[in-house]
Amino acid sequence: MKQFQGKTPNRLATALLTALLAAPALATIPEGVTVRSIEGADAISSWSHLDNQRVLLNVDEKNTYLLTLKHQCHGLAWAQNVTVTMSNNTIWAGFDEIQADGLACPIHSIQKIDPNDL
């Protein structure tokens, strides 16, 4: 299980958040390529909750993923401890979950997003 230490700022994450916040609605995130898993997930550099059902993960400057949760995860915005389950450094859609202060939020789907499209 990987624990996020708050929202770690870096240039890519700042650029992604700036682009998302400047958009008229969060629904304008470009559609990515659906993938089954995220390999090398122990190297997550930053994360951002977009709303109660979507999380943006940056593994490095070239690998950005949009995780859509199976249901609303209302504590995500203000949780003190956010973790993600994984197996062998891999996060799997339909198997793993994000946990916000102990509240389990199963991952429904994962899309790889091209950072240049944001």
- Mean of pLDDT values over 16-43: 69
Examine residue 96 and state whether it is found in any structural domain, yes or no: yes
Examine residue 27 and state whether it is found in any structural domain, yes or no: no
Q: Check pLDDT > 50 for residue 9.
A: no
* Distance between CA atoms of residues 46 and 51, nearest Å: 16
Examine residue 102 and state whether it is found in any structural domain, yes or no: yes
Examine residue 48 and state whether it is found in any structural domain, yes or no: yes
Query: Could you tell me which residue, 118 or 14, shows the higher pLDDT?
Result: 118
Examine residue 93 and state whether it is found in any structural domain, yes or no: yes
Examine residue 65 and state whether it is found in any structural domain, yes or no: yes
